[in-house]
Amino acid sequence: MSAAHRPPLDGVRVVDLTTFLSGPSATQLLGDLGADVIKVEALQGDSSRAIAGPEVDGDSAYFLANNRNKRSIAIDLKSPRGLEVAKRLIAGADVVIENFRPGVAARLGLDPVAVQAGHPSLVWASISGFGQEGPWRDRPAYDMVVQALGGTMSLNGHPGAPAARLGIPAGDVVAGLYAVIGILAALSAREGTGSGRVVDVSMLRGQLAMLSYQAVYASVNDAAPGPQGAAHDSIATYRSFRGGDGREFVVTANTPRMWEDLCDVLGVPELVVDDRFVDAAARLRNKAELWEILEARVAERPAAEWVELLTAASVPVAPVKNVLEALQDAREADDGSLVTVRNGHAAFENVATPIRFVDTDEVEPTYPPALGADTIELLAGELGFSRDEVDRLVEDGVVGTPAVALAH
């Protein structure tokens, strides 16, 4: 593999002290970009290994979804000898990422500022619910908690219905993405200064950042926007419709030309010159009347016919697809959006990283590791422990291998 074609993070070592989803999603992305990710787990393993639901070859699908392209070492970080193993691992790392509650890493003996001071080139990233400082720093946080506190749930669902959690773990995944952005920025800065940084990412801040224009709308109007349903606060012809067959599709007719073409396709050209709908502001003011007219017209044909006709007229349109349908589309497109991860006797399909680099070698996906699968290799082969030392660490329950992990 020539240096010019290597994955961008080839040669970067990441020590992953995270569990569940926000951190593992971040480190999986780093692994997809070529980093050597070493997942440090308790002897009992990442708690997401035991999440109920579908399984693949006995492994939780939840865990598998966020842990490809990693190696696993099992360490009892609460034991002094285990802590020394972790410190030796960190000494050779470029990045450490953790999602403990604030203060937990320091209580374990891994204070981020102190560790980074001892290894000035190290980038340390902390993901927490509410940040390392502030009145809520000690509160536990999960995805739905920050969706609720950050306003996301209040915007989701339909008007008049209870607030609804997004069906995807946006609180976790967005925090993971911001952590990766912070890490990459710190690594870039290190190129010029030689010094790393401590990165602090809050799940709640991530949700607030996702509000985008809704935050400014609320501030300017001094009023909270309500559930958005399948419509838009500013564009009357940006919403979903239900065809005569009951299937839904979305239309995003944002410009005057798109509005005129929408009316033409629907067979209601008179709306273009109707004073109630003559421009975007008028359409927004009279959206209830407009929607009643459009919904009645749309109900006269199946959704697929409208999608075909509107597509031919270059009006942005799409059917509302379920997850299986969306995955099938990606499968048929065969554009690298999906990846099959195998370990010889088991396999599962997952969504690939959406980032592409021209003229760059791709990372061949590796199956999420068994708990402690790489403990021996890392200790004896890379951290300089003798075989006798490794055996004693295993026997004393300081570190774990797959066989030891099973016993727990």
pLDDT at 404: 55
pLDDT tops 70 at residue 407: no
Kindly report, residue by residue over 134-185, the tens digit of the pLDDT: 999 999 999 999 999 999 999 999 999 999 999 999 999 999 999 999 999 9
Q: Please tell me the CATH code under which domain 238-320 is placed.
A: 3.30.1540.10
Closest CA to 394 of 10, 73, 65, 130: 73
| CA–CA separation, 183 and 97 (whole Å) | 9
- The dihedral over CA atoms of 273, 274, 276, 277, expressed in degrees to the nearest 10, equals -40
> Of residues 32, 172, 200, 374, which has the active-site annotation?
172
| Cβ atoms within 10 Å of 295's Cβ, excluding its own | 12
Residues β-bridged to residue 127: 201
Which band of pLDDT confidence, cut at 50, 70 and 90, is reported for residue 72? very high
pLDDT tens sequence across 25-58: 999 999 999 999 999 999 999 999 999 999 999 9
Averaged over 97-107, what is the pLDDT? 97
Confidence at residue 1, expressed as pLDDT on a 0 to 100 scale? 53
- Class of 10-211+332-407 in CATH: alpha beta
Our answer to whether residue 143 is catalytic in this structure is no
The predicted pLDDT at position 408 comes to 43
Average pLDDT over residues 297-302: 98
Identify the band that residue 356 occupies on the pLDDT scale cut at 50, 70 and 90. very high
Q: Mean pLDDT over residues 272-278, rounded? A: 98
Q: What integer pLDDT is reported at residue 406 of this predicted model?
A: 44
Residue 274 has pLDDT above 60, yes or no: yes
Tens digits of residue pLDDT in 329-352 = 999 999 999 999 999 889 999 999
Measured CA distances, 33 to 12, 28, 261, 369 (Å): 10, 9, 43, 18
Stated pTM of the model: 0.95
Overall average pLDDT of the 70-76 stretch: 98
Q: What is the pLDDT of residue 2?
A: 63
**326, pLDDT greater than 60:** yes
The domain ranges of the chain are 10-211+332-407, 238-320
- Is 221:151 a contact under the CB 8 Å cutoff? no
Distance CA(291)–CA(286), nearest Å, equals: 9
Mean pLDDT throughout 310-327? 98
